[in-house]
A and B are shown apart, each in its own frame.
Chain A
Amino acid sequence: MLSWLNQTEILGTIMSDLTADERLKEVSTIRKAMIRPELGAICGAILVFAFFLLVAGDSGMFSPEGIQNWTIVSAQFVIIATGACLLMIAGEFDLSVGSMIGFAGIIVAILSVQWGWPIWVSILVSFALCVGLGAVNGFIVIKTGLPSFIVTLAFLYILRGLTIWLSILTTRKTIIGGVRDLAEGDWLAPVFGGVILKDFFQWLGDVGVLETFSRGSRVGQPVVAGVPMLVVWAIVLIFFGHVLLTRTRFGNWIFASGGDKLAARYVGVPVNRVKVLMFMFTAFCATVFAICQVMEFGSAAADRGILKEFEAIICVVIGGALLTGGYGSVIGAAIGALIFGVVQQGLFFSGAESSLFRVFLGVILLAAVILNTYIRRMITGEK
């Protein structure tokens, strides 16, 4: 047992040793730029595009209509993946997203087609209801302390059942059409179902850069009419989600709530508020998805959105997020959604058996998770 004076000497030497820790390697800037949560997803995207260029390059996949086809499917996934991503980083899951998609659509259809309310009112009411349901999900998770997996699984069933029952109750059918006519002239409907940059694309068609229809009711119109609002919403949500997560105080709280909610609470982070808000945001995204679909197709159906919540989670995981929370990236989730859409449609273009889609997806998921785990360990020092 050393005396006090010797102790201070030793402590002093240790302090100065710390200024030049031989354990810290010099890290090159390129490596620093590359080792990021989205790296796995970026690699995946490059590989997937290379693969389909190889296998389906001349199948029409990279023609304007082909690009429009998988872009729209990817945009669908981006919308719900953004919500799922932020929620997963906050440490929770929402398995009721798919059911909510069906529910939101049916609500709009019932209110407008059956009860005669204006479309914009129906849309706003649907948003209010669904975001409210998201909040309910959140409160139940917080009050009961049950895993969100379980609570939202229950809502998956409750909402789906309600959707089917409500539509049969009011219309004796499970598909409610006629929304398209009612949406004519409504001010809110085009925000979800419209197409923008029409003139630009028409010009592209006129000058011959873009193919046009040769017969039928749309002679002379370009085969790609414009950018659908679905894609615009996807881009807006990516931007919003990414900035919120990485550049705001609230984003820090999201990471903290998922990383270690007790440590976060201790320094004053309102963990409960963060989680409830993220459940509400996921519900918001699901409703955006649903309304865009209803406006585009002019009808709602009780079976829309089945299994979409799992597909959203797959996109988020391919994008590098950790299932247990506290780590992830919205950009990564968006790239994951892009991969999902390209693979889903690309397999049709390549002429493969459609059942192979699932095999392909499973392989990509596994490879992405393995790669992402290595990258994450490099970044966070996890053992």
Chain B
Amino acid sequence: MTEPIIQMKNIEKHFGSVIALGGVSLDLVPGECHCLLGDNGAGKSTLIKTLSGVYKPSAGEIYFEGHPMNFDFPRDAIKAGIATVYQDLAMIPLMSVSRNFFMGNEPMKKIGPISFFDHRHANEVTMGEMRKFGINLRGPDQAVGTLSGGERQTVAIARAMYFGAKVLILDEPTSALGVRQTSNVLATVDKVRNDGIAVVFITHNVRHALAVGDLFTVLNRGTTLGTAMRGEITPEELQDMMAGGQELATLEGSIGGTV
């Protein structure tokens, strides 16, 4: 059992009088995919933003590689190796894959006193990395807009990996994707996990979670309802925990089927 790379102890986050997180504890271990489940409004996004430096916790501690963590800006978290891929702002569709890949980390080459964008290096690396993740581009100039939603998520994940992410947080990556594209992304997550990265996979879709997850934590109204390991829990139990059980049972009764 490897040491956890991130330990969150009793994290609380208040926005004025609203308690978004009321004491959440979570451990992230390299090489494991930890699924964070919960219905809308459960606090998943807030927890993740606290982890990636967007928010500072109102109470509680976070340890990163054994040291207490105190990020002032998201950029610091990225530099430390915590990368987040958001559902809707992974890529800029009008720009090429290569430009997107190296956005903010552009490789430079000097001609005389002036530094230029090293396109050749960027293109080589991009094509290579994309191949590793199973995406074959027509050329490095191909615009991200020509890729499917799942492929775009994969590019974002590949980018995070290339730039040294140790922890990869995926915020609802499959929520807007079709069946095939979802499988693409899950395959990517599998690969990343096998490369020894700690993955946090946020979703409200139990089936997707069970496809790749090693650990499952359910959040409900700002608190955890516990963490289960793969095999210890059934999909129905997970679903019940997410929705609070009662309401879903009544709903299923009236529809006459499973949600």
A27 touches B138 (CB 8 A): yes
Q: Which of these, B117, B134, B139, B145, contacts A247 with CB under 8 Å?
A: B117
CB of B41 within 8 Å of the partner chain: no
Closest B residue to A259 using CB positions: B92
Interface string of A368-383 (1 = CB under 8 A from B): 0000000000011110
Nearest CB of B to A13, in Å = 10
B235 touches A19 (CB 8 A): no
B146 touches A11 (CB 8 A): no
Q: Which residues of A contact B175 (CB under 8 A)?
A: none
A247 touches B95 (CB 8 A): no
Nearest CB of A to B209, in Å = 12
Closest B residue to A18 using CB positions: B134
CB of B90 within 8 Å of the partner chain: yes
In the complex, which residues 247-282 of chain A have their Cβ closer than 8 Å to any Cβ of chain B? 247-249, 251-252, 255-256, 259-260, 262-264, 266-269
A381 touches B93 (CB 8 A): yes
Q: Which of these, A14, A21, A266, A381, contacts B183 with CB under 8 Å?
A: A14
B93 touches A266 (CB 8 A): no
Q: Which residues of A contact B187 (CB under 8 A)?
A: 11-12, 14-15
Q: Which residues of B contact A27 (CB under 8 A)?
A: 138
Nearest CB of A to B78, in Å = 7
Q: Which residues of B contact A381 (CB under 8 A)?
A: 93, 143, 145-147
Closest B residue to A382 using CB positions: B145
Interface residues on B, range: 35 or more
CA distance A18 to B180 in the complex (A): 11
Interface centre among A12, A19, A247, A267 (most CB of B within 10 A): A267
Number of interface residues of A (CB under 8 A): 39
Q: Which of B29-37, B99-107, B221-229, B240-248 contacts A (4 or more CB under 8 A)?
A: B99-107
Q: A15-B134, A248-B117, A267-B104 are in contact. Are A322 and B94 (CB under 8 A)?
A: yes
Q: Which residues of A contact B145 (CB under 8 A)?
A: 380-382
CA distance A380 to B138 in the complex (A): 13
CB of B190 within 8 Å of the partner chain: yes
In the complex, which residues 56-101 of chain B have their Cβ closer than 8 Å to any Cβ of chain A? 74-75, 78, 86, 89-95, 99
21 contacts between A and B (CB under 8 A): A1-B210, A4-B230, A18-B184, A19-B134, A24-B138, A248-B116, A248-B117, A249-B115, A251-B117, A255-B92, A256-B95, A260-B89, A260-B92, A262-B89, A264-B103, A267-B78, A267-B103, A380-B143, A381-B147, A382-B93, A382-B94
Q: Tell me the B residues contacting A by CB distance below 8 Å.
A: 74-75, 78, 86, 89-95, 99, 102-106, 108, 115-117, 119, 134-136, 138-139, 143, 145-147, 180, 183-184, 186-187, 190, 207, 210-211, 230, 235
Excluding A24-B136, A248-B116, A267-B103, 7 further A-B contacts by CB distance (< 8 Å) are A1-B210, A11-B183, A12-B187, A27-B138, A249-B106, A264-B92, A380-B145
Please list the 9 inter-chain residue pairs (A to B) with the smallest Cβ-Cβ separation, ordered nearest first. Answer: A381-B146, A267-B104, A259-B92, A381-B145, A18-B134, A268-B104, A249-B106, A380-B143, A380-B145
